[in-house]
Structure 1
Amino acid sequence: MILTQCAVCATDLGLTSGKKCGRCSTRYCGPECQVQHWKEGGHDKLCKPIKKAGGAEQYNANNKYTEAVAEAVEACADDTKGQTCYICTQALHWKTKEGLVRGCSCRGTAGVVHVSCLAEQAKILVAEAEENNKDSQWHRWHTCSLCEQQYHGVVRCALGWACWKTYVGRPETIRGHRTGAMTMLGNGLSAGKHLEDALSVKKAELSILQRLGAPEDVIFVVQGNIAVTYELLGRGELAIRLKRDVYSGNLKLFGEEHFDSLTSANNYASSLVELGHFKEAKALMRKTIPVVRRVLGENHDLILTMRWNYAEALYKDDGATLDDLREAVTTLDGTGQTARRVLGGAHPITKGIERELQMSRSVLRAYEDTAPGVSGIRKAVEAMTAGDA
């Protein structure tokens, strides 16, 4: 996470409170903690190395990046064994000696790469596009240039730290590199399941943007990211209120066909399903799915997750009919096949859809065999499969 706490007592300092070490900018709640850290916490030995690295925030980003890369390399070891980086063509990175990763939708021998190579490529492409006044290449910080699908899991987390350590020293501007890197870091931490840290980063970003007077569309994006993190943390009521406000705001600002409106509709629907508001979720998805299909096509990951949400609302509803259950199974089956073809079997979206398909099929079989009512069967099936979720 970014540094918003006292280095000694962990008091929350926000983005501006407290004081900093005059040499390396390590943050403290007051002089007492600063003196204690120097005398007892080892800061007397670390202060110069931290300053040499570029200050406390840069030093922290560098260390966290190294940890995140090591985690990603370990997680991808079996998938990348015996292969080489498609950018530098080496097995070990020439400078960092790091191993290989793959966290996109490439398959076979494609897409195997070093995080450092991806980061350097993204940095160069972004700079070249800006210098030549071309379309932004910022998406290269999160999207594979081969399969054009977003990175996920621990690889996305490592790229988040790579982006942050690259731009942490940039000035705070509304659509600048520093705030963009905070978005990348927050979403990366979520992908890596570091949810509390992700929430801290996203809240810090929102605070900066509000202080700078960012326009509504920028604020909505960050609020939407915060809402998703709330949901992942199990704070459903907070999530659904914020998602509803973001969806409503985007509709008023952009209309129903804008990508931000469609994304926020899907996010809102997922919270409706999570909290058991199945009737509202189905109505929203029935209205929105045709729009997504028309605007983005059949293979976009947004249409896949929308159909997933819709099918889940169908079969989990206590009032579901046999036709509803069959529609849910058919929807998940077709969507799962598309996800596997487009995203690959290792992608979280594919895995989630296929897991939901198994559960919906179990509910349908139980209903067809005994017809005792959907609610009791569904609860039994969920109890049996809870360990697989």
Structure 2
Amino acid sequence: MILTKCAVCATDLGLSLGKKCGRCSTRYCGPECQVQHWKDGGHDKLCKYIKKAGGAEQYNANSKYSEAVAVAVEKCADDTKGQTCFICTQALHWKTKEGLVRGCACRGTAGFAHVSCLAEQARILFAEAEENNKPRYPVVARWQTCSLCEQEYHGVVRCALGWACWKTYVGRPETVGIRLMAMSMLGNGLFLADHHEEALSLREAELAILRRNGASEHNILAVQANLAMTYEELGRGEQASQMERDVYRGRLKLNGEEHEMTLRAAFNYASTLARLKRFAEAKSVMRRTMPVARRVLGDSHDLWLKLRRAYAQTLYHDASATLADVREAVTTLEETKRTARRVFGDAHPTAEITELMLQKARAALAARERQDSETSESKIQ
């Protein structure tokens, strides 16, 4: 369930509390709010349309999807001007009349598309895999990955695709794999578009569903990792670090140190430790993880670049860092920036964030060199 609050007073209902409209399944904390919504909230006029759309959950998903597409199109408007969709070859979608987006690592004239076209492409691929009893996971990835550059979409485009995925599969039973995968896709999209309160509600609902239905340790750890990142974005750093520590230990036990999920868990845990200014602990985790990540993933992998960037950040942020540490941070970020630009292009968040960190590291180095120079001069005098 994504709708976990009363439609009138926003009381948190979790997955099972309260009551529902008997016709459209809109949720309420009790009969008082339901009556008020019917009399004064306009539900008497909307109820039949909500039911026709497939119920409250489907109606909400459709509405949120339309809003997310509009936001993504507006955000991409300058970049997509004068271009056409690589799928349908039109500038405006023939049915929805929506504009274009591009939120991957494609460059030049490649990668422009309508969210509707991307969603339809992903839906067809998954339906074909289901019909022919083929592996689902490779085609599910198309809901978040560009078919041209093979890089994941980011920001508001990823959010719009998350809602597209959710509205496509929300009608499936809650224990069906693709519905749970759609919840995860939507959570990732909300997170990347900075809708952290919504992401938190979804992650908590997702975790409750998995636990109630006896899900595997792998799936529970995956949701806990996402939930921990959301806690941190909402300023709940200690809670995030405790959960990320448990996820990291769980991944080591379940998958071993060379698995990509373990490496991601280590990165998340170390990053949170660094933001809590527990630099010694953060560096310890990253120094143990980085050689393994480079050997397993290679120099061009996004996770390896993030690890290097995070490690550099701990070096120049630490108040006890030496001049050599700050210089190492600058060198590391310069190398990471070159690789990020080559692999993803200048406009990709990986390259942009690395550039910002490099500027801060260079400023920290200049300040440190100036401070050391002044200290040396005072000693000579």
If the TM-score is normalised by the length of the shorter chain, which range does it land in?
over 0.9
Q: Aligned residue for 1:171?
A: 173
Q: Aligned residue for 2:141?
A: 139
Q: Distance in 2 between matches of 1:373 and 1:339?
A: 36
Residues 372, 204 of structure 1: alpha-carbon distance in 2 compared, 3 angstrom cutoff: farther
Q: Distance in 2 between matches of 1:100 and 1:178?
A: 27
Q: Aligned residue for 1:236?
A: 237
Q: Distance in 2 between matches of 1:53 and 1:273?
A: 47
Q: Deviations over 1:91-141 (max 9, x none)?
A: 000111000000011111110000000101111111222333333211111
TM alignment of 1:224-373, pairs within 5 A: 224-371=225-372
Q: Aligned residue for 1:209?
A: 210
Report the AA paired with residue 81 of structure 1.
K
Equivalent pairs counted in the alignment come to: 373
Report the AA paired with residue 44 of structure 1.
D
Q: Aligned residue for 1:124?
A: 124
Q: Aligned residue for 2:18?
A: 18
Residues 372, 216 of structure 1: alpha-carbon distance in 2 compared, 3 angstrom cutoff: farther
Displacement after TM superposition at 1:12 (Å): 1.0
Displacement after TM superposition at 1:254 (Å): 1.0
Unaligned runs of 5+ in 2: 376-381
Residues 88, 324 of structure 1: alpha-carbon distance in 2 compared, 3 angstrom cutoff: same
Confirm whether residue 86 of structure 1 aligns to residue 93 of structure 2. Answer: no
Q: Aligned residue for 2:164?
A: 162
Displacement after TM superposition at 1:40 (Å): 1.1
RMSD of aligned C-alpha atoms? 1.4
Report the AA paired with residue 152 of structure 1.
H
Whether contact under 8 Å (1:164, 1:185) holds in the other structure is yes
Displacement after TM superposition at 1:314 (Å): 1.0
Q: Distance in 2 between matches of 1:362 and 1:30?
A: 57
Q: Aligned residue for 2:150?
A: 148
Residues 219, 320 of structure 1: alpha-carbon distance in 2 compared, 3 angstrom cutoff: same
Q: Distance in 2 between matches of 1:338 and 1:373?
A: 36
Q: Aligned residue for 1:9?
A: 9
Q: Distance in 2 between matches of 1:104 and 1:297?
A: 21
Q: Deviations over 1:33-61 (max 9, x none)?
A: 11111111111110110011000000000
Partner of 1:283: helix, strand, or coil?
helix
Partner of 2:87: helix, strand, or coil?
coil
Residues 191, 201 of structure 1: alpha-carbon distance in 2 compared, 3 angstrom cutoff: same
Displacement after TM superposition at 1:369 (Å): 2.4
Q: Aligned residue for 1:60?
A: 60
Partner of 2:258: helix, strand, or coil?
coil
Report the AA paired with residue 150 of structure 2.
E
Whether contact under 8 Å (1:3, 1:57) holds in the other structure is yes
Q: Distance in 2 between matches of 1:317 and 1:31?
A: 56
Unaligned runs of 5+ in 1: 375-389
Moved more, 55-64 or 123-132: 123-132
- TM-score, normalised to structure 2, is 0.95
Displacement after TM superposition at 1:372 (Å): 7.3
Partner of 1:96: helix, strand, or coil?
coil
Q: Distance in 2 between matches of 1:34 and 1:369?
A: 67
Q: Aligned residue for 2:378?
A: none
Report the AA paired with residue 53 of structure 1.
A
Q: Deviations over 1:187-228 (max 9, x none)?
A: 111111111011100111001001001111110000000001
Whether contact under 8 Å (1:367, 1:373) holds in the other structure is no
Q: Distance in 2 between matches of 1:86 and 1:125?
A: 17
Residues 127, 357 of structure 1: alpha-carbon distance in 2 compared, 3 angstrom cutoff: same
State, as a whole percentage, how many aligned pairs show the same letter. Answer: 70
Confirm whether residue 73 of structure 1 aligns to residue 73 of structure 2. Answer: yes
Moved more, 365-374 or 346-355: 365-374
Displacement after TM superposition at 1:232 (Å): 1.3
Report the AA paired with residue 349 of structure 1.
T
Q: Deviations over 1:46-85 (max 9, x none)?
A: 0110011000000000000000000000000000000000
- TM-score, normalised to structure 1, is 0.93
Q: Distance in 2 between matches of 1:308 and 1:234?
A: 22
Q: Aligned residue for 1:103?
A: 103
Whether contact under 8 Å (1:250, 1:260) holds in the other structure is yes
Q: Aligned residue for 2:187?
A: 186
Residues 283, 184 of structure 1: alpha-carbon distance in 2 compared, 3 angstrom cutoff: same
Report the AA paired with residue 318 of structure 1.
A
Whether contact under 8 Å (1:50, 1:59) holds in the other structure is yes
Q: Distance in 1 between matches of 2:368 and 2:38?
A: 68
Q: Distance in 2 between matches of 1:366 and 1:32?
A: 63
Q: Aligned residue for 2:41?
A: 41
Partner of 2:293: helix, strand, or coil?
helix
Q: Distance in 2 between matches of 1:85 and 1:288?
A: 41
Q: Distance in 2 between matches of 1:277 and 1:353?
A: 22
Displacement after TM superposition at 1:373 (Å): 10
Q: Distance in 2 between matches of 1:325 and 1:215?
A: 43
Residues 354, 373 of structure 1: alpha-carbon distance in 2 compared, 3 angstrom cutoff: farther
Q: Distance in 2 between matches of 1:289 and 1:141?
A: 30
